[in-house]
């Protein structure tokens, strides 16, 4: 599991809202007599899970609302990756506890990764919530809410080895109707020493590939033009094959991630396909060749490195060395020339020396990432790192190292954007620019935002944009005929 888990395919556009707790909404139906207010924190998997929750509760008569004051049920889908995310959730729950004084029938619950670890604190000690539900127990939500109405506190945090929610059609909570997430697997078997996710989301299990393809087809028919395949580690996706490499059913095909990518890409040439997140130890050349064969599989890979030093990577239990990682980068450059690459970097992991930090900077200079998510190490309860290592890098040193990482990445991002100026890019239009109603914005295959004059174009169309200017994250240009 990677610390980003993860990011949305439009991470730099959506992540800031998610981490703040983005309310999500769908139109009310005539039969809906109750209102659900749902906030999502953290990773894109949580955002996808919120769509599953909305679908389950839609069947129980709940319409989703953006107005928390009219809600009968308030649910926070939580993140446990970093402490500051948990603190934001606890602050919001305290606010909702105040609201319950004037609305005694209001039900407040916590979903997701914080559920199991903090259930006793949330339910009994601080009495902040009425129900606590883990990521594999969302089907039980209607029953749990009824338990609360019956005067009980309700808890279900059991993890499953089978649950994938494969047959549930998510209620799409996005605002643009152009891009959507498809969850292809759940859980994580990578025991990275810094990460709590294997304990909060359970073991890996992959979803039936036909259900994934069917969902992609339905989305395309509904007007969506881009899907992002989600998993804690998409490269380890496998269907009809066990962990020992043995085929389970001789009458069914074996489908690994490379084959799944091609199945989804074959739904329609106008359906763009993205995926997140990749793991360096599992990304094969087969995946890269599949990307090369299909124009509609976006040429963008998020490949978290976390550290540029092999000893730190060993302490992190990442399963690869610096040399292995750079070999994967070389394979991407060779098979997918021009492919955009982003990463995750952790500053100040347990025992990190100044020389080990410099190795991270030198790796960044060698790869020159287009974008990166950069963090100070934050010790999480129950992880291997908490049990085995001392969090011994002083906070001021962590902060200084993080600033150096951010500064260097800023130079690389700006240089990467500069290389795109003067080129013509195929852009999927997502909507109207936030800064001007006379402009539209969309994304290139490289996951770069492009802004251009509105003209007669509209969301969902593909246009070709000649880039004439840039910032570190955005291109500006004009629409031109297809080359």
Distance CA 454, CA 457 (A): 6
Per-residue pLDDT tens digits for 172-210: 876 679 999 999 999 999 999 999 888 888 889 999 999
Predicted pLDDT at 5: 36
Judged against a pLDDT cut of 70, whether residue 133 lies above it is answered with: yes
Judged against a pLDDT cut of 60, whether residue 23 lies above it is answered with: no
Predicted pLDDT at 116: 73
Judged against a pLDDT cut of 60, whether residue 280 lies above it is answered with: yes
Phi, psi angles (nearest 5°) of residue 356: -65, -40
Sole residue written with tokens 């990445």:
409
* CB contact set of 42 (below 8 Å; sequence gap of 6+): 5, 18, 19, 78, 79, 80, 81, 85, 112, 113
Per-residue pLDDT tens digits for 211-253: 999 999 999 999 999 999 999 899 999 999 888 888 999 889 9
What are the sequence ranges of the domains in the chain?
A: 11-156, 302-420, 424-480
Judged against a pLDDT cut of 60, whether residue 6 lies above it is answered with: no
Per-residue pLDDT tens digits for 407-417: 999 999 999 99
CATH (residue range 302-420) = 3.30.750.200
Per-residue pLDDT tens digits for 294-344: 999 999 999 999 999 999 999 999 999 999 999 999 999 999 999 999 999
Instruction: Supply the DSSP symbol for 289.
Output: H
Judged against a pLDDT cut of 60, whether residue 24 lies above it is answered with: no
The average pLDDT across 85-114 equals 90
- Range of lowest pLDDT (118-127, 331-340, 395-404, 457-466): 118-127
- Considering only residues 80 and 159, tell me which one the structure prediction assigns the higher pLDDT: 159
- Say if domain 11-156 classifies as CATH 3.60.15.10: no
CB 420 within 8 Å of CB 448: yes
**In CATH, what is the architecture of 424-480?**
Beta Barrel (2.40)
H-run or E-run covering 227? strand 226-230
Task: Name the CA dihedral angle for 125, 149, 107, 25, rounded to a multiple of 10 degrees.
Answer: 150
Confidence of residue 395 (pLDDT cuts 50, 70, 90): very high
* 3-state SS, one letter per residue, for 72-115: CEEEEEECCCCHHHHHHHHHHHHHHHHHHCCCCCCEEEEEECHH
The average pLDDT across 90-115 equals 90
Instruction: Please give the share of the chain, as a percent, with pLDDT higher than 90.
Output: 72
Confidence of residue 21 (pLDDT cuts 50, 70, 90): low
Longest dimension (CA), the chain: 66
Predicted pLDDT at 173: 79
Q: CA separation (Å) from 55 to 9, 33, 173, 328? A: 22, 15, 10, 39
Phi, psi angles (nearest 5°) of residue 453: -60, 145
Predicted pLDDT at 59: 92
DSSP reduced 3-state for 425: strand
Q: Of the candidates 203, 227, 170, 216, which has an alpha carbon nearest to the alpha carbon of residue 38?
A: 170
Instruction: Supply the DSSP symbol for 382.
Output: T
Confidence of residue 76 (pLDDT cuts 50, 70, 90): very high
Per-residue pLDDT tens digits for 355-380: 999 999 999 999 999 999 999 999 98
Predicted pLDDT at 278: 94
For 430, the token pair is 């997502």
- Range of lowest pLDDT (95-109, 281-295, 437-451): 95-109
For 143, the token pair is 């029953």
- Cα dihedral 20, 2, 208, 204 sign: negative
Predicted pLDDT at 31: 67
Confidence of residue 26 (pLDDT cuts 50, 70, 90): very low
Predicted pLDDT at 25: 45
Residue 395 burial class via C-beta count within 10 angstroms: exposed 0-12, middle 13-18, buried 19 and up: exposed
Instruction: Please give the share of the chain, as a percent, with pLDDT higher than 70.
Output: 93
Predicted pLDDT at 30: 47
Predicted pLDDT at 175: 63
For 159, the token pair is 């993890």
Predicted pLDDT at 17: 31
Adjacent-strand bridge partners of 376: 347
């Amino acid at each position: 599991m990677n610390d980003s888990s993860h990011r949305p395919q439009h991470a730099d556009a959506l992540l800031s809202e998610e981490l703040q707790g983005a309310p999500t909404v769908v139109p009310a139906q005539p039969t809906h007599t109750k209102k659900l207010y749902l906030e999502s924190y953290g990773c894109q998997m949580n955002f996808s899970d919120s769509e599953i929750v909305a679908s389950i509760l839609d069947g129980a008569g709940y319409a989703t609302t953006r107005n928390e004051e009219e809600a009968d049920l308030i649910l926070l889908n939580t993140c446990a990756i970093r402490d500051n995310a948990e603190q934001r959730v606890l602050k919001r729950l305290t606010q909702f506890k105040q609201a319950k004084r004037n609305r005694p029938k209001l039900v407040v619950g916590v979903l997701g990764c914080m559920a199991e670890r903090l259930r006793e604190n949330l339910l009994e000690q601080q009495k902040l919530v009425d129900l606590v539900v883990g990521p594999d127990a969302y089907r039980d939500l209607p029953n749990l809410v009824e338990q609360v109405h019956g005067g009980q506190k309700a808890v279900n945090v059991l993890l499953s080895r089978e649950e994938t929610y494969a047959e549930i059609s998510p209620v799409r909570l996005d605002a643009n109707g152009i891009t959507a997430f498809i969850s292809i697997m759940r859980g994580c078997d990578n025991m990275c020493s810094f990460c709590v996710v294997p304990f909060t989301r359970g073991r890996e299990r992959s979803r039936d590939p036909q259900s994934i393809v069917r969902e992609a087809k339905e989305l395309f028919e509904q007007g969506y033009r881009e899907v992002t395949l989600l998993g804690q580690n998409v490269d380890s996706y496998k269907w009809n094959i066990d962990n020992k490499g043995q085929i389970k059913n001789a009458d069914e095909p074996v489908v690994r991630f490379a084959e799944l990518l091609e199945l989804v890409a074959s739904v329609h040439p106008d359906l763009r396909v993205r995926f997140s997140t990749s793991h360096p130890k599992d990304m094969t050349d087969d995946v890269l060749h599949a990307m090369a064969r299909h124009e509609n599989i976006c040429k963008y890979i998020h490949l978290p490195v976390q550290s540029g030093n092999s000893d730190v990577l060993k302490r992190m239990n990442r399963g690869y060395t610096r040399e292995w990682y750079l070999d994967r980068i070389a394979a991407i450059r060779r098979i997918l020339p021009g492919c955009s690459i982003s990463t995750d970097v952790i500053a100040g992991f347990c025992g990190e020396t100044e020389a080990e930090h410099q190795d991270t900077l030198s790796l960044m200079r060698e790869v020159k990432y287009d974008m990166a998510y950069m963090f100070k190490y934050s010790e999480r309860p129950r992880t291997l790192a908490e049990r085995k290592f001392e969090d011994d890098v002083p906070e001021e040193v962590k902060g200084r190292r993080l600033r150096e990482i951010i500064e260097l990445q800023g130079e690389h991002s700006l240089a990467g954007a500069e290389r795109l100026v003067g080129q013509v890019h195929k852009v999927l239009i997502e909507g109207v620019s936030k800064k001007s109603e006379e402009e539209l914005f969309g994304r290139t295959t490289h996951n770069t935002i492009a802004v251009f004059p509105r003209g007669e174009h509209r969301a969902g169309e593909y246009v070709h944009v000649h880039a004439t200017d840039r910032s570190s994250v955005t291109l500006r240009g004009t629409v031109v005929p297809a080359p």
